[in-house]
Structure 1
Amino acid sequence: MRVLIAGAGRAGLSVAVHLATMGHEVTIVDRDDAIATSAFERHGLVSLVGDATDAGLLKEAEVGRADVVVAMLRRDADNLAVALLAQAAGAKRVMVRMRDPDYRSVYVRAGVHRILSEIDVFIGAMATAIEHPGVRHAMVLGTGESVAFELDIPVDAMVAGRTVSVVAGSRGFPASCVFAGLYRPDGRVEAPRGSSIVAGGATVLLVAARDELAEVIAFFLRRDPASGGITSAAERR
C-alpha cells in the first residue's frame, strides 16, 4: 500500500518504520528538517519537509495516489485540515490521531470516521488493569462497552485441557464472552476453533462486555480440582 503520514513525531515515525518493514510504500511529511533527514538516512523513508496542511506540499507528496493518509500532527485543527485536503485530492482512506475528544464530532461531520484516540486507549487499558489485576493487556473497543484482553490460564484451572466448544458450552460461561485467540508456548497465535484446546499455562485472547469482565475472569481462573472440571451442556443432558 501507499501510505502517507503527516507528522513524524515519535508515534508517527514508529508507525512509518513498522509499515515500511512490512513492505508498504511509506512517505512522511514533517516540518522538522532534522526529523525528515533522520527518517531518510536511518530508515530509508521518503521524507518531505514542510507544513502538511499546505495543499501544494501534499500534492508534491502525491496525496491523491495514497491508499491511506494518516494525520498525526500535534494539533487536531491541523489533522482536520490534512484530512479534508486528502479527501479532496482523492485519497482512498483517511485516518486521524485525535488528541482532544471535543474534536470527535467535528471529524465525523467532516466525513472522517477512522479516528484513533490515544487518550481513550490509555484510559481504558489503565482502568482495566487497575480494576482487574489478572488481565495482562487490554483494549477498549467501540464506544467502550466491550474490552479485548489477554488472560493467563492457570495450570489447575477448571477450563485447562478442555476444548473451546466445551468451555463455551459450559454452565456459567458469560454470554458476552468470545474467544479471539490462543497463544501457544512458542509465541504463535492460533485462531480458535471448536476443537482447539485451552491449555493450562497458556494465554487466551478474549472479548467481553465491560460490565461482565469480572465474571469472565472469575470463570476462567476458577480452580476446583475436586469438582472434576467444568460441566458442558452436553454432559448435563
Structure 2
Amino acid sequence: MYVLIGGAGMMGLRLAQRLLDLGHTVAVIDIDPLACQYAREKIGVMSFEGSAVSTSVLLEAGIMKANTIVATMTSDAINLALVTLSKHYGVPQIVVRLNDRDFAQPYRIAGASHVISTIDVAITRIVNAIEYPEVEAMMHFEQGQVEVLKLPVTKDCYITDRTVADIASDPKFPKGSLVIGYQSHPQADLIIPNGGTVLEAGSTILVVTKPNYLRQIIQFVGLSTTHLPTVEVSD
C-alpha cells in the first residue's frame, strides 16, 4: 500500500516509521528541508519538500496512485485543504489528525474517512490510567459504547486456572461481556479462546464489555481494586 503523509513533524515521522516497519511504501511531504532529510536518511522513506497543499508537490509525490493519505499537520485549516484535494484526486482512504473539534464536521463533509483527535486519545488514556490502574490497556469503540480491556491474570486472581466457559457461566460475570482474546505469556501469540481455554497465571486476556461494567469486570477478575467502590452487578 502506498501511504502519503502530509507533515513530517513528530507524529508524521513516527507514523512513517511504523508504516514502513509494516511493509508499506511511505512518503512524507513537508516544507522543512531538515525534516525531509531526516525522513530520507534516518527513516528510509521518500520525502518531498514543499507545501502539502500544493497541487504540483502532491502530483510529484504521487497522490494519483496513493492508497491512503494522512494529514498530520497542526493546522486544521491546512489539513482540511489537504483532505479536500485528496478527495478531488480520488484517494480511497483519507485519515486526518483533528486538533480543534470545530473542524470535525467540516473534515467529514470534505471526505475524510477517519477523523482522529490525538488530544482526546491522549486524555482518555491518561484518565483510564488514573481510574483503572489495573488495566494494562483499554480501547473504545462506537463512540465509547463498547470497551475492550487488556487485563493481567495473576496467580491470586479469581479467574486463574478457570476455563472461559466456566467464567462465562458465573453469575457474577457481567452479562453481555465476553473474553475475546488470550495470551499465555508476553512473547506468545494472541489467540481467540474457546470455552475450554484455561486462563493460567501470568497470562493476559482481552475482555469486551459495556462502559458501565468496567469496574465490575475488574472486581470479578480479582485484581487489586481497594481504591474503587464495590458495585453490584446488575442485568
TM-based fold match above 0.5: yes
> What's the C-alpha RMSD, in Å, of the aligned pairs?
1.7
Structure 2 equivalent of residue 209 of structure 1: 210
Deviations 1:39-60 (A, max 9, x none): 1111221100011011221111
Structure 1 equivalent of residue 7 of structure 2: 7
TM-score normalised by the chain length of structure 1: 0.87
SS in structure 2 of the partner of residue 218 of structure 1 = helix
Does structure 2 retain, via aligned residues, the 8 Å contact 1:96–1:115?
A: yes
Does structure 1 retain, via aligned residues, the 8 Å contact 2:71–2:97?
A: yes
Deviations 1:98-141 (A, max 9, x none): 11122111212222231111122122222222122211222333
One-letter code aligned to 1:219: F
Does structure 2 retain, via aligned residues, the 8 Å contact 1:4–1:70?
A: yes
What are the ranges of 5 or more consecutive residues in structure 2 without an aligned counterpart?
225-235
One-letter code aligned to 1:120: D
Greater Cα offset, 112-121 or 210-219? 112-121
Does structure 1 retain, via aligned residues, the 8 Å contact 2:30–2:36?
A: yes
SS in structure 2 of the partner of residue 190 of structure 1 = coil
SS in structure 1 of the partner of residue 175 of structure 2 = coil
Greater Cα offset, 27-36 or 123-132? 123-132
Q: Is the aligned partner of 1:198 residue 2:215?
A: no
Does structure 1 retain, via aligned residues, the 8 Å contact 2:28–2:46?
A: yes
Distance 1:8 1:169 in 2: 51
One-letter code aligned to 1:119: I
Greater Cα offset, 150-159 or 74-83? 150-159
Does structure 1 retain, via aligned residues, the 8 Å contact 2:5–2:27?
A: yes
Alpha-carbon distance, 1:92 to partner: 1.4
Distance 1:136 1:222 in 2: 12
Alpha-carbon distance, 1:220 to partner: 0.9
Structure 2 equivalent of residue 68 of structure 1: 68
Does structure 2 retain, via aligned residues, the 8 Å contact 1:124–1:139?
A: no
Distance 1:192 1:33 in 2: 50
Structure 2 equivalent of residue 102 of structure 1: 102
Alpha-carbon distance, 1:186 to partner: 4.4
Alpha-carbon distance, 1:149 to partner: 2.3
Distance 1:16 1:177 in 2: 36
The aligned length equals 223
TM-score normalised by the chain length of structure 2: 0.88
Distance 2:106 2:100 in 1: 11
Structure 1 equivalent of residue 173 of structure 2: 173
Q: For the structure 1 residues 119 and 207, does the alpha-carbon distance in structure 2 shift closer, same or farther, using more than 3 Å as the test?
A: farther
Structure 2 equivalent of residue 31 of structure 1: 31
Alpha-carbon distance, 1:152 to partner: 1.3
Distance 1:131 1:170 in 2: 26
One-letter code aligned to 1:175: K
Distance 2:122 2:180 in 1: 21
Alpha-carbon distance, 1:169 to partner: 2.2
Greater Cα offset, 211-220 or 137-146? 137-146
Distance 1:25 1:102 in 2: 32
Distance 1:139 1:63 in 2: 32
Alpha-carbon distance, 1:181 to partner: 1.9
Structure 1 equivalent of residue 112 of structure 2: 112
Deviations 1:19-78 (A, max 9, x none): 112211111111110010111111221100011011221111111211111110111111
Q: Is the aligned partner of 1:45 residue 2:69?
A: no
Q: For the structure 1 residues 201 and 58, does the alpha-carbon distance in structure 2 shift closer, same or farther, using more than 3 Å as the test?
A: same
What are the ranges of 5 or more consecutive residues in structure 1 without an aligned counterpart?
224-237
